[in-house]
Amino acid sequence: METVECRNKSEMPCALMDCITEAVTSTFASIYGREPLEKDGSSGASDGDSVLGIISLVGGLQCSIVLGLPRETAKAVTAKFAGFEIDYDGPDMGDVVGELANVVAGDAAGRLESHGIKADLSLPTVARGSDVEMIQQDKTMSRLVHYECTDGGFWVRISAEARPTARN
C-alpha cells in the first residue's frame, strides 16, 4: 500500500509512477532474489539515521527520485549490492548508494522511454543524516512509497512537476 501525499494527486502521471515503482521493485528483486513488499507508511520522515540517494530525470518530464535507507537497511543492502561490507559512516557508502539510485533511475528511464518519454539522468547526490524529512514543494506532486525487503524497510519518494509529454 502506498502513502499518497500528492497535493494534486489526480495529476500525478500514472506512467511515471508505474515506471519508477517497477524500477524499484525490479532493482531490489535483482539484489535479493525476491521483490520488496510495499507497506503502509505515514510520513516522509525517517526516525534515526538514514542515507538518501537523490537523483533526477530531466527531459520529456521533470521528476526526482529519493531513495531513503535507514542505517541498518543501508548497511545490508549496500553489502549485497556491492558484494562486500560497506561502512555506514565511510566514503564508500556515498558511492554505493549513489550507484543504487543510478540503477533505479536508469531502469525507470528505460521503462519511460518505452512509453515514448525520453529523459536524461542527473548525477546522483547522497546525503546522510538523522530524523531526515523530505519537504514537498508547493508546485510539485509527490508520492511516498514504503517498502520492506529481507533486510529491513526503506522508502522511495517520487516528485514530479508536470505531466510527461509523449514524443511522436
Which lies closer to other proteins via its Cβ, residue 1 or residue 29? 29
According to the 3-state scheme, what is the secondary structure of 55-117?
EEEEECCEEEEEEEEEHHHHHHHHHHHHCCCCCCCCCHHHHHHHHHHHHHHHHHHHHHHHCCC
Q: What are phi and psi of 96, to 5 degrees?
A: -70, -45
Q: At its nearest, how many Å lie between other proteins and the CB of residue 147? A: 17
d(CA 60, CA 145): 23
Q: At its nearest, how many Å lie between other proteins and the CB of residue 39? A: 22
Question: The C-alpha cell of 66 is what?
Answer: 529519493
Which lies closer to other proteins via its Cβ, residue 37 or residue 127? 127
Q: At its nearest, how many Å lie between other proteins and the CB of residue 150? A: 13
Q: At its nearest, how many Å lie between other proteins and the CB of residue 161? A: 5
Which lies closer to other proteins via its Cβ, residue 40 or residue 91? 91
Question: The C-alpha cell of 158 is what?
Answer: 517520487
Provide the terminal-to-terminal Cα distance of the chain, rounded to the nearest Å.
34
Which lies closer to other proteins via its Cβ, residue 103 or residue 112? 103
Residues lying near other proteins in the complex (CB under 8 A) are found at 27, 30-31, 33, 49, 51-52, 54-59, 62-64, 66, 80-83, 90-91, 93-99, 102-103, 106-107, 120-138, 140, 159-161
